Amino acid sequence: MKPHELIGRWPVLRQVAEGDTLGRGKAVQSAKTEQLRPRTDEAQHVVQSICPYCAVGCGQLVYVRDGKVDQIEGDPDSPISRGRLCPKGAASKNLVTSPSREYKVKYRRPHGTEWEELELDEAME
């Protein structure tokens, strides 16, 4: 490959030549990036939720595919967070999908001395 052909492939030179000084247009896209699609496009439905971590109540959009949580993002319609999430809120998908997630609850009855394991449904009643 000749040097002028190699230099012509540089994204910075394409940006300057096409007037895309902010680097948001076609000059910075490659064949691979043009084929990329967001994971959220494949979601079967979207559920509005609230972040479980603190009392602020930031809005979340939960994208579900095949009955499983695929992605969690901030809800841009939320007046509290306006589509933004803190690092814990952004990682809240791990609460649902983590292999170390607990499915049983440890419970000690009043005046009891031993812990017993309860199913989540039973513990919530």
Domains and their CATH numbers in the chain? 3-35 (no CATH), 39-97 (2.20.25.90)
- In this structure, of 5-19, 38-52, 100-114, the range with the lowest mean pLDDT score is 5-19
Count of Cβ atoms closer than 10 Å to residue 108 Cβ: 10
Sheet with 68-74: strands ordered across? 45-50, 59-65, 68-74
In whole angstroms, what separates CA 78 from the centre of its chain?
A: 16
Instruction: Encode pLDDT of 50-85 as tens digits.
Output: 888 888 889 998 888 888 888 888 889 888 888 888
Banded pLDDT at 45 (limits 50, 70, 90)? confident
In terms of DSSP bridges, do strands 68-74 and 45-50 run parallel, antiparallel, or are they unpaired? unpaired
Buried b (16+ CB within 10 A) or exposed e, 45-82: eeeeeebeeeeeebbbbbbeeeeebbbbbbbeebeebe
pLDDT band at 115 (very low <50, low <70, confident <90, very high): very high
